[in-house]
A and B are shown apart, each in its own frame.
Chain A
Amino acid sequence: MGAEQGINAGDTAWVMISAGLVMLMTPALAFFYGGMVRRKNILSILMKCFACLGMVLILWALYGYSLAFGHGNGFIGSLEWVGLRGVGAAPNPDYSSTIPHAAFMIFQAMFAVITPAVVIGSLVERIKFSSFLVFVALWVTSVYIPVAHMVWSPDGWLRGLGALDFAGGCVVEINCGVAGLVTALVLGKRQGLTRPTLHNLPLVVLGGGLLWFGWLGFNAGSALAANGVAVNAFVTTNLSAAAAACSWAAVEWLVTGKPTMFGTVSGVVAGLVAITPACGFVAPMAAICIGLVAGGLSFFAVSVIKQKLGYDDSLDAFGVHGIGGFWGMVATGIFGTVSVNAAGTDGLLAGNPVFLRTEFVAALVTVAYCAAVTFVIAVVVDKWLGLRVSAEEEIMGLDITQHYERAYTMLE
């Protein structure tokens, strides 16, 4: 029993439930994305998301958790917890002294799963499945794990600079968005696209709704306790999602004449992304401002900038997660206040412009590191195994050619 001294039942229960909520986000994302592609490719999306669950969870237990959160240098952890040796019922006070170390480990594992899963949005309808698996293993190991260590480990040098990222603005959102954009540029555009590929909007909305639900665990669970900071994160997360849903729909209404369901659910995700680094450090009214800006900004990124530049970030991992995540980090530097979290930092509006600069630097470092290493991985996998399917396979669809199955029948 000695090992369990100091464990708080409420905190532990909340973190376990939150880990379950974050786990649900990957299947939710699968449907959010799956509805957006042509029906000949939906299974290939679902399959890639489940491949992230299947593969990354195991990598995480074998060595990923240890390299990300073990004691090491400013850049990477160590192999002290390889195979989860020593990660059990006793708490690790570096992260939380009131929950078992293993609860923190499995909660973090779900973040490592969903981050490469978001990258899928940039690669859809053309990436070869076998190459995707190799890409994900390399990317989680050499991009996700070091960034998580730099930002979240007590040894991490970005954390040492004073940068704060409550639930993953840098580690998850900027990381996956930038990785998506870079890999999409290496892959090239899909062929012969003349119209939007969306085939089942209700699936997109179902996935988006479940993402919102799961995100409550993602953000409020990151308090690692059932306390006031967690509740603040829970409140700000909902408000930002709501505000961004309204602002995306409103901008669309003004620009195109009608608000759309697709735009509204995209706004929800943009708002959730933007509040992710800020949710435990900002007040509710700030969260509404963050969400309002996030909806408009992401709409502009995907409907104006992407169209002008012509890159095929197919489902807007960069436009929503990259741009929204960057804005979230900047917004943390603007709206941060110790009045909601004593472990936080006052931002620009509380008279501390230095914190805004720190958040900006952390976001820029993440962009630069992620872009450089992702580029190398994508080019290496492309030269080695070929990232793309053949032109014929792309036309036939990835469901049949990569997995020998089809999602929908026309006849009984």
Chain B
Amino acid sequence: MKLVTAIIQPHRLEEVKRELYAAEINLITVSEALGHGRQLGVDEFYRGVKETGNLLRKIRVDIAVNEPFVDRAIAAIIKGARTGKIGDGKIFVTELQRCIRIRTGEEGPQSIG
């Protein structure tokens, strides 16, 4: 079991969801995030005072998957999120120790999907 975490551009979320559904991955958690990579945020002005490097809005997508779905999830996210420009984001894949379905108490790979 793996946890696939992607940080993407907010306006690509709909595309990413569509690609994930097309890859038969229907279980996702989406949260709002702030951050920046190499583009170092944005400048804002308040009554003439400049604030540099404010954090950019991003979307964080978390998907827990069994092994056969890991590469499919990554491919779907890349297909949906890539614009080729700076700021497209990152995907992190981490080992998932345990997964428990709260309703039934099931544990392990069958509890993910």
A interface residues (Cβ-Cβ under 8 A, vs B):
40, 192, 194-195, 392, 395-396, 400, 404-406, 410-411
Contacts and interface: CB of A to CB of B under 8 A. Distances in A.
Majority DSSP secondary structure for residues of A touching B? loop
Contact of A410 (B32, B43, B45): B32
B20 to A, nearest CB: 15
Given A192-B11, A194-B14, A406 B44 contact: yes
A194 B43 CA distance: 29
Given A406-B54, A410-B32, A410-B57, 11 more contacts: A192-B11, A192-B14, A195-B14, A396-B42, A400-B44, A404-B43, A405-B45, A406-B44, A410-B34, A411-B34, A411-B55
- Chain B contact-residue range equals 10 to 19
A260 B85 CA distance: 40
B42 A400 contact: yes
Interface of B: 9, 11, 14, 32, 34, 42-46, 54-55, 57, 85
Nearest to A401: B42
A395 B11 contact: yes
A270 B39 CA distance: 45
A411 B32 CA distance: 11
B14 A404 contact: no
Contacts of B11: 192, 395
A405 B32 contact: no
5 contacts: A192-B11, A395-B11, A404-B43, A406-B44, A410-B32
Q: Which of B11, B32, B34, B45 has the most CB of A within 10 A?
A: B11
Contacts of B14: 192, 194-195
B43 to A, nearest CB: 6
Contacts of B9: 395
Which 7 A-B pairs have CB atoms at the shortest separation, nearest pair first? A404-B45, A194-B14, A395-B11, A404-B44, A405-B44, A410-B34, A400-B42
Contacts of B43: 404
A411 B56 CA distance: 12
Contacts of B45: 404-405
Nearest to A392: B85
A410 B54 CA distance: 11
